[in-house]
Amino acid sequence: MDANHLSLRLARVASYVPKGARMADIGSDHAYLPAHLALNHQIEYAVAGEVVKGPYENAAHEINQLGLTDVIQPRLADGLAAIHPADHVDTITIAGMGGTLIAKILDADQSKLSGVKRLVLQPNVGGERVREWLLTNRWQIMAEEVVEEDDHIYEIIMAEPSIVPFAYNDRELKFGPFLLEQDSPAFKKEWQAELARQETAIKQMQKAAQPPVEKIREFEKEMQMIKEVIK
């Protein structure tokens, strides 16, 4: 993969960035996502934020090599601290991290979200955490999809600030309101794998000298919910 040839996962994330966006890609690593969009004249401006020095240097190198220094600013910063008011960022992408970390990054510096019109989030795991954060903070999910690549299944969630009241029930938070409707083969595969993990976990717990009955019951309840959804 490089800025000219994105992975399917990042290409699908890129597809949700509006044309002409002023974006911030947080946790950008090599900056492939903003670089690809800039090379294809899809964005006006980008910040490529990275908290770790090595990936930040990779991003800076890539941006230089591709002659994109006028369009993309690499910044060594934790989360949304990479965004400065003068950037006038309207779109934020956060991809390739756990849902808990994505929610933590969004929560840590909410002042940076004023003026942002779209979030494109791709949790590797823990999509539920992301949806919980979105609901609590009045960001409405506008689109979702599941992408399968190299034996991994990834969720992509696109959200915009909501001006109308909305709510998600427990099922929608866990599985995704749009993903539930789509019921795609990749979605089924994702949850079949989760069922198998939970089955193994229950077997392990049952082997304990004093099996944690409450915990096992919780797992069984959750498994029942998954079975109902993917039946």
Q: Report the residue from 23, 46, 49, 155 that binds ligand SAM according to the rule CB under 6 A.
A: 49
34 is a site residue for ligand SAM (CB under 6 A): no
Binding to ligand SAM, residues 130-159 (CB under 6 A): none
Site string for ligand SAM, 105-134 (x = CB under 6 A): x-----------------------------
User: How far, in Å, are 86, 102, 141 from residue 134 at the CA level?
Assistant: 25, 11, 8
Q: DSSP strand E in the chain: where? A: 21-26, 43-50, 72-76, 91-97, 118-123, 139-149, 152-161
Find where tokens 């993903």 sit. Answer: 179
Question: Which is closer to ligand SAM, CB of 49 or CB of 176?
Answer: 49
How many Cα atoms occupy the beta-carbon half-sphere of 127 within 13 Å?
28
Instruction: Select from 3, 10, 71, 147 the one that contacts ligand SAM (CB under 6 A).
Output: 10
| Interface size with ligand SAM, residues (CB under 6 A) | 17
Exposed e or buried b for every residue in 3-15, given b needs 16+ CB within 10 A? beebbebbebbbe
Q: Given candidates 51, 113, 223, 230, which one binds ligand SAM under the rule CB under 6 A?
A: 51
Token pair for 40: 């294809």
Choose, by CB under 6 A, the member of 24, 45, 50, 157 that binds ligand SAM: 50
**Within 10 A of 42 (CB to CB), how many other CB atoms are there?**
17
Residue 73 is a binding residue for ligand SAM (CB under 6 A): no
- Would you count residue 52 as binding ligand SAM (CB under 6 A)? yes
Token code pair at residue 125: 């795991």
Q: How far is the CB of 10 from ligand SAM (least distance, A)?
A: 6
Smallest gap from Cβ 172 to ligand SAM, in A, equals 25
Q: How many CB atoms lie within 10 A of CB 108?
A: 12
**Shortest distance (Å) from residue 23 CB to ligand SAM:** 12
Q: Which residues bind ligand SAM (CB under 6 A)?
A: 10, 26-29, 49-52, 55, 78-79, 95-97, 101, 105
